[in-house]
Amino acid sequence: MKQQEFFSSRWALIIATIGIAVGTGNIWRFSRIVAQNGGGSFLIPWVIFLLIWSVPLIIAEFAIGKSTRMGPVGAMAKTAGRKFGWMGAFIVFVSTAIMFYYSVVTGWCLRYFFSSVSGNLFKVDDYHVYWNNFANGYEPLLFHFIAISFVAFVVLRGVTKGIETVTKFLVPSLLIILFILFVRAITLPNAIEGIKYFFTPDINVILDHKVWLNALTQNAWDTGAGWGLILVYAVYMKKKEDIPLNAALIGFGNNAISIIAGITIFSTVFALSSVDAMTQVSQSGPANTGLTFIYLPLLFSKMTGNDTINLFFASIFFLALFFAAFTSLISMIELSTRTMIDFGLKRKRAVGIIVVIGFLLGFPSALNLKVLANQDWVWGVGLILSGAFIAFAVKQYGIDKFRTELINGYGSDIKIGKWYNYIIGILIPIQVVVLILWWLISSVSWDPEWWNPLHVENAGTAIFQWAIVLVFFIVFNKYIVAKTLNNNLD
Amino acid sequence: MEISTIITMVLVLGIVWGGLAFFLVRAIKYEKVKFKNGKE
């Protein structure tokens, strides 16, 4: 099968990939995690893990996608060997499982945007009750449907006419909105207290291992490194395009946007919160929704004495959140679509199947926050395994050969040195083992029935669900790999 | 503002935003060179 579509330029590729990386994780998860981990103390390990987790894995994904011109299943089979195609299938499954509930979350953002624009958001007495009424009703289903349908329309149009055109509009718009919110937030009275907290380190907290592990998890989450999404967009990059510089731009660009979002949220909360500001930022609420859907609307209503201006800022905040979620959702559906195209299906049919499945399997998360929290836990931690599989593929290929031939090969503007070998070969495996063990051991300590797969967040439910998926793909590995590779013989 | 806050701010903003600016300038430079060489 010949490659037919490409991103039209380096900038189109970078904008689309920034669209993957910048999602709700940068805006609401980042601020919450910073607050829960000592503000400035968290930022130092967070920057370190950008360098030793995110950027190296983004480079690897770019190189694998560009060289194999296939989605994760074919890409892993070609890079690591046919025996390991199941790893690619697992990567696809994890991101697709996240897509099921991420579409629901995208729908929430859209719903709150509509509530802001219509003015209904400020006619609320109790934002907790307002959120609960919405989340426990049937409205999330409707907005989940709208979100996934919009994305289907974009992905159906293909890479150039669909993904590139839409992200070229949405990503710059998102950045402009964030900048407007940033300027408004830092000019609020008392905003400096939020900025101070955001950047003040506490030496005792820096030495806490949990802060380091949370910093690594946040990097794994919000840069999109190891999800397989960047790998799929790299399939559509031209041969002459560079890898290392583009990967660095995406990693650093993503974290730069997180800083802007963090300063905005902290300034707003410290300036407008009448009670303990930190409690408001760090409280999770149901399925970690507290800050965004319960406390921020309340704060926006108090931003100025003028309700119209307040509604404007609330509206553009939820619009930014929707744009961020939407561009990430596009990449998740493109990942599944590309995998099915590799499997022999036409794009139209593949998108149709994915969207119907995505809509149906998003039902439980749309109707029950406990299901959403469970899926978020299981596949969120599963992403670390996905990252490990990508590093494993590089190792199987030969790290030095991978670096010199695929990364530093034709098109590269800058050359990557031998440091890359040590990061992929030593540091990433260490990070994976430590992180997964820590998450699982922690979950044992917070749930006496840690083995029970029916609980929302514990070791048992994660291992049980991973095991089902892994066993399935390992058993059918031969068939999946053969079907994928045979359909793509040049 | 405490000195440790200022140091963290300079360090974090310097690495993240400084790094982004550095790579962005290099990318623009390479694109210009490619354009001049008629690769576009």
Which of these, A272, A277, A314, lies nearest to A293 by C-alpha position? A314
Query: Three-class SS string for chain A?
Result: CCCCCCCCCHHHHHHHHHHHHCCHHHHHHHHHHHHHCCCHHHHHHHHHHHHHHHHHHHHHHHHHHHHHCCCHHHHHHHHHCHHHHHHHHHHHHHHHHHHHHHHHHHHHHHHHHHHHHHCHHHHCCCHHHHHHHHHCCCHHHHHHHHHHHHHHHHHHCCHHHHHHHHHHHHHHHHHHHHHHHHHHHHCCCCHHHHHHHHHCCCHHHHCCHHHHHHHHHHHHHHCCCCCCHHHHHHCCCCCCCCCHHHHHHHHHHHHHHHHHHHHHHHHHHHHHCCCCHHHHHHCCCHHHCHHHHHHHHHHHCCCCCCHHHHHHHHHHHHHHHHHHHHHHHHHHHHHHHHHHHHCCCCHHHHHHHHHHHHHHHHHHHHHCHHHHHHHHHHHHHHHHHHHHHHHHHHHHHCHHHHHHHHHCCCCCCCCCCCHHHHHHHHHHHHHHHHHHHHHHHHHHHHCCCCCCCCCCCCHHHHHHHHHHHHHHHHHCHHHHHHHHHHCCCC
Question: CA quadruple A115, A20, A239, A347: dihedral positive or negative?
Answer: negative
Measured between beta carbons, the chain A residues lying within 8 angstroms of B17 are 256, 259
**Residues in Cβ contact with A471 at an 8 Å cutoff, skipping those fewer than 6 apart:** none
> What length does chain A have?
490
Taking 80 as the threshold, does the pLDDT of residue B1 lie above it?
no
Measured between beta carbons, the chain B residues lying within 8 angstroms of A253 are 20
Counting one residue from A and one from B, how many pairs have CB atoms under 8 Å apart? Answer: 64
pLDDT of residue A277: 64
Amino acid identity, position A300: F
Q: Position of tokens 């289903």?
A: A141
Report which DSSP code applies to B39.
-
Measured between beta carbons, the chain A residues lying within 8 angstroms of B9 are 199
Total Cβ atoms within 10 A of residue A192: 14
Taking 80 as the threshold, does the pLDDT of residue B40 lie above it?
no
CA distance A103 to A109: 10
Find the residue in B nearest to A193 (Cα): B1
Burial of A448 (0-12, 13-18, 19+ CB in 10 A): exposed
CA distance A241 to A333: 24
pLDDT of residue A434: 87
Yes or no: say if A171 and A386 are a contact pair by the CB < 8 Å rule. no
Residue A197 CB-half CA count within 13 A: 26
Measured between beta carbons, the chain B residues lying within 8 angstroms of A182 are none
Measured between beta carbons, the chain A residues lying within 8 angstroms of B27 are 10, 14, 242, 245-246, 249, 413
- B1 vs A43, A196, A253: nearest CB: A196
Token reading at A166: 């839409």
Find the residue in A nearest to B29 (Cα): A413
- A201 vs B1, B4, B27: nearest CB: B4
Q: In a 3-state reduction of DSSP, which class is residue B38?
A: coil
pLDDT of residue A276: 67
Residue A298 CB-half CA count within 13 A: 21
Measured between beta carbons, the chain A residues lying within 8 angstroms of B23 are 245, 248-249, 252
**Residues in Cβ contact with A128 at an 8 Å cutoff, skipping those fewer than 6 apart:** A294
A286 CA to chain B: closest CA distance, Å?
Answer: 31
pLDDT of residue A304: 81
Q: Give the residue from A6, A245, A252 with the most B CB atoms within 10 Å of its CB, the best one to mutate.
A: A252
Instruction: Name the interface residues of B facing A (CB cutoff 8 Å).
Output: 1-2, 4-6, 8-9, 11-13, 15-17, 19-20, 23-24, 26-27, 30-31, 34, 39-40
Instruction: Name the interface residues of A facing B (CB cutoff 8 Å).
Output: 9-10, 14, 40, 43-44, 47, 50, 196, 199-201, 240, 242, 245-246, 248-249, 252-253, 255-256, 259, 413-414
Yes or no: say if A186 and A263 are a contact pair by the CB < 8 Å rule. yes
Total Cβ atoms within 10 A of residue A80: 21
C-alpha distances out from residue A93 to A86, A97, A434, B24, Å: 10, 6, 23, 34
CA distance A225 to A234: 13
Question: Phi and psi for A304 in degrees, rounded to 5?
Answer: -135, 180
pLDDT of residue A4: 75
Total Cβ atoms within 10 A of residue A482: 13
- B23 vs A40, A200, A248: nearest CB: A248
Q: In this predicted complex, what is the ipTM?
A: 0.93
- A252 vs B6, B8, B16: nearest CB: B16
Token reading at A150: 């919009």
Contact A240 B4 (CB under 8 A): no
Token reading at A228: 């397989």
pLDDT averaged over 10-residue windows placed end to end, chain A, 490 residues: 80 94 87 85 92 95 96 97 96 96 95 93 85 90 96 95 94 92 90 91 83 85 90 94 95 95 89 70 62 80 84 91 94 96 95 96 93 89 91 96 94 92 94 84 82 86 95 97 84
Calculate the CA dihedral of residues A238, A243, A246, A252 and round it to 10 degrees.
Answer: 160
